[in-house]
Amino acid sequence: MDFLSLLQQTRSVRRFDHSQKLSDEILSSILESVRFVPSARNAQTLKYKIVNRQEQCDDLFPLLAWAGYLNDWKGPKKEEQPVAYIIVCQDNTLSPTSVVDEGIVLQTLQLMAKSKGVSSCILGAFDRQKVKEMFLLDSSIEVRYILALGFGVETVVVEDMIENQSIKYWRDEQEIHHVPKRKLKDLLL
């Protein structure tokens, strides 16, 4: 698959096949990608917590907020919840990080996962302190973002956004998730 196709197909997916688990091996193979990304001053201060045991996933799920624009949807039902998470953390013993590092890492993980057929969603809306306590993370570790993972069971389509129309994603009656994206001409100054 060429790079643009991979990027176009790497959408935020929030409904997964709960029966298809993700092993430590596949999660490690996805994480291998972050070793090769750029970081400010090459400091490599981000660390990762893999969560894929059922009890851990069940404990983490209630702390997460899903698809804020979909007012009548409270998140995936039990059979469609993520089967794994990667918690992206900053290790303060190393060096102050750049917020850009987190973005690079999250996008790289999403692309790497998709290249293996695994869908994902970046999650930023959650109580970081509670997650830190749940996984008994050291005081020097700061929780930043979570990537939810699994084999997707929803259809997500990207659509050209009409200038000045809503940026809000929406779902139709068939539960297809639509994501408006600005056209290139509307991004150029």
Ligand X SMILES: Cc1cc2nc3c(=O)[nH]c(=O)nc-3n(C[C@H](O)[C@H](O)[C@H](O)COP(=O)(O)O)c2cc1C
Kindly state the smallest distance separating residue 13's Cβ from ligand X, in Å.
Answer: 8
Tell me the three state secondary structure of residue 141. Answer: strand
Per CB under 6 A, which of residues 153..172 are in contact with ligand X? 156, 169
Question: Which part of the chain contacts ligand X (CB under 6 A), choosing from 1-9, 10-18, 20-28, 38-46?
Answer: 10-18
Among 48, 59, 179, 180, binds ligand X (CB under 6 A): 179
Reported in sequence order, the residue ranges of 56-151 that DSSP labels E, i.e. its strands, are 84-91, 119-123, 141-150
Kindly state the smallest distance separating residue 25's Cβ from ligand X, in Å.
Answer: 26
Per CB under 6 A, which of residues 22..61 are in contact with ligand X? none
CA dihedral 38, 39, 40, 45 (to 10 degrees): -170
Task: Count other C-beta atoms under 10 Å from residue 63's C-beta.
Answer: 15
Among 31, 50, 111, 122, binds ligand X (CB under 6 A): 122
| Cα dihedral 116, 80, 69, 58 sign | negative
Residue 155, classified by CB atoms within 10 Å of its CB into exposed (0-12), middle (13-18) or buried (19+), is middle
Question: Which part of the chain contacts ligand X (CB under 6 A), choosing from 21-29, 30-38, 65-73, 88-96?
Answer: 65-73
137 near ligand X, rule: CB under 6 A: no
Binding site for ligand X (CB under 6 A): 11-12, 14, 65-67, 121-125, 156, 169, 179
